[in-house]
């Protein structure tokens, strides 16, 4: 079974190119909120996730072994990892969580 291990990092150009193509077709999967407490759900609403992906510059964006993408954003508590998939209908945010460190290749 393919893992969530990062196999390759994208250049800023690659990330912004496909983000530009799908900018108006980004959705959040219900599963994205599965592990959150009620308090966390108030902080990380759909709008906040979409704004982060569309407007903030990630520290890194990588392709996982399972074919999904992971974008990493610096936060006071560590790093926010947003996992999403890209397909012909658009970008779908699958899940997100806070991490203490950035993964190495």
Residue 38 belongs to domain with CATH number: 3.30.2310
**Does residue 36 belong to any structural domain of this protein?**
yes
Q: What is the pLDDT along the chain (105 residues), one digit of tens a residue?
A: 678 999 999 999 999 998 899 988 999 888 787 766 666 666 677 788 889 999 999 999 999 999 999 999 999 989 999 999 998 899 999 988 888 988 876
**Does residue 6 belong to any structural domain of this protein?**
no
User: Do the beta carbons of residue 82 and residue 93 sit within 8 Å?
Assistant: yes
- Enclosing domain of residue 21: 17-99
Would you state the pLDDT for residue 42? 66
In the chain, the number of structural domains is 1
**Does residue 5 belong to any structural domain of this protein?**
no
User: Do the beta carbons of residue 21 and residue 84 sit within 8 Å?
Assistant: no
Would you state the pLDDT for residue 65? 95
- pTM exceeds 0.85: yes
Would you state the pLDDT for residue 31? 79
CA distances from 5 to 2, 50, 80, 98, 100 (A): 8, 23, 16, 16, 16
User: Do the beta carbons of residue 71 and residue 86 sit within 8 Å?
Assistant: no
> How far, in Å, CA of 30 to CA of 86, rounded?
16
Would you state the pLDDT for residue 18? 82
**Does residue 28 belong to any structural domain of this protein?**
yes
> How far, in Å, CA of 15 to CA of 63, rounded?
11
**Does residue 22 belong to any structural domain of this protein?**
yes
> How far, in Å, CA of 31 to CA of 81, rounded?
15
Would you state the pLDDT for residue 38? 67
Residue 18: CB atoms within 10 Å:
14
**Does residue 7 belong to any structural domain of this protein?**
no
Would you state the pLDDT for residue 49? 87
**Does residue 81 belong to any structural domain of this protein?**
yes
């Amino acid at each position: 079974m393919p893992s969530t291990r990062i196999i390759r990092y994208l250049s800023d150009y690659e990330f912004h190119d496909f983000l530009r193509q799908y900018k108006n077709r980004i959705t959040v999967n219900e599963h994205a909120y599965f592990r959150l407490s009620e308090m966390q759900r108030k902080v990380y609403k759909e709008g906040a996730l979409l704004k982060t992906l569309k407007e903030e510059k990630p520290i890194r964006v990588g392709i996982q072994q399972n074919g999904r993408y992971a974008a990493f954003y610096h936060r006071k508590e560590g790093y926010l990892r947003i996992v999403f998939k890209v397909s012909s209908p658009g970008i779908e945010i699958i899940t997100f969580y806070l991490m203490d460190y950035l993964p190495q290749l």
